[in-house]
Amino acid sequence: MRFGCCIGMNAEDVLGEKKIRYLAEAGYDYFEAALVDLVKLTGEQIERLLAISQETGIACEAANVFFPGTLRLTGENVDRAKFEAYVTSSLAVAGRIGVQSLVLGSSGAKNIPEGFPYERAYEQLVEELRFIDKEAAKNGVTVVIEPLNRRESNLIVSLKEGHELVHAAEFTNIRLLVDLFHFCRENDDPQWIVDYKEDLRHVHIANPGDRRYPTGPLPEFDWFFAKLKEAGYDSRISVEANMKNFEADAKAFIENVKHYYW
């Protein structure tokens, strides 16, 4: 099992270097950055990020926030040329950096506009995934579908729906993610984690109650980790959560999860 942490990149720390170095010291195995941030990096900055990964021993093995909210995936205003250009360039960046799991939740881009037919929006997403699948394969990236909750999204809001989307076409590099926060918000069936184990490639963790870092034992962890073990899951788990203090919360999570649950 590999444990990672989602980090933000900003004007003060463009590469997230301070957080990366801290995560390495705290005992994390990798970090997860937003693809919308990674695509803004210059070639020189990407080389520096790779050098930091080599120095610290933890790399950007996963990325979230695939699409910016301004790039429509559903509705009347989908710009196919713009979509394909972004997918091609962004997946090339992800491949260069070494991203292995790329999360597709992207509610801002994916949500169905009011009045637009659900069936048509679903067809648009499947057709777009066909293109994404080919580009992902070229760059050695697996795109994982992240089911969100219905307070944030109106398209793919359960692990079952995510599983169905993964099998909507003959994809080779499109798989599934389970996010504990969204999973609990939707009251999904824990057995689905086992039922869909062949598709499961990535996991996100947050306190189901307040979406903050799980800094101590939680009752949900007992059945969640038990189901992951039953499913034989042995890949990446990223904490993706709000924080009060990054360093304190990140350290508490990794110590908690490794001591009590794995």
The pLDDT tens digits of the residues spanning 58-105 come to 999 999 999 999 999 999 999 999 999 999 999 999 999 999 999 999
Q: In the structure encoding, which two tokens stand for residue 262, read together?
A: 């794995």
Q: Which helix (H) or strand (E) holds 95?
A: helix 80-97
Give this prediction's pTM.
0.96
Could you report how far apart the first and last alpha carbons of the chain are, in Å?
A: 8
Q: Using the 8-state DSSP alphabet, how is residue 64 labeled?
A: E
Give me the amino acid identity at 162: G
| 44-61: pLDDT as tens digits | 999 999 999 999 999 999
pLDDT in tens, 131-143: 999 999 999 999 9
Angle at 70 between CA 64 and CA 72, to 5 degrees: 90
Q: Is the pLDDT of residue 216 over 90?
A: no
Is 178's pLDDT higher than 70? yes
Average pLDDT, integer, range 200-223: 94
Per-residue pLDDT band at 22 (split at 50, 70, 90) = very high
- Given a cut of 80, whether residue 260 has pLDDT beyond it is no
Kindly tell me if the per-residue pLDDT of 187 is higher than 70: yes
Residue type, 237: I
% residues pLDDT > 70 (the chain): 99
Q: What are phi and psi of 138, to 5 degrees?
A: -60, -30
Q: Considering the chain, what is the average pLDDT of its residues?
A: 96
Q: What is the pLDDT of residues 108-121, one digit of tens each?
A: 999 999 999 999 99
Confidence band (pLDDT; 50, 70, 90) for 261?
low
- Is residue 11 very low, low, confident or very high in pLDDT (cuts 50, 70, 90)? confident
Beta bridge partners of 101: 62, 142
Domains and CATH numbers, the chain: 2-260 (3.20.20.150)
Burial of 32 from C-beta contacts in 10 A (0-12 / 13-18 / 19+): buried
Q: Work out the number of other CB atoms within 10 angstroms of the CB of residue 71.
A: 19
Residue 262 confidence (pLDDT): 63
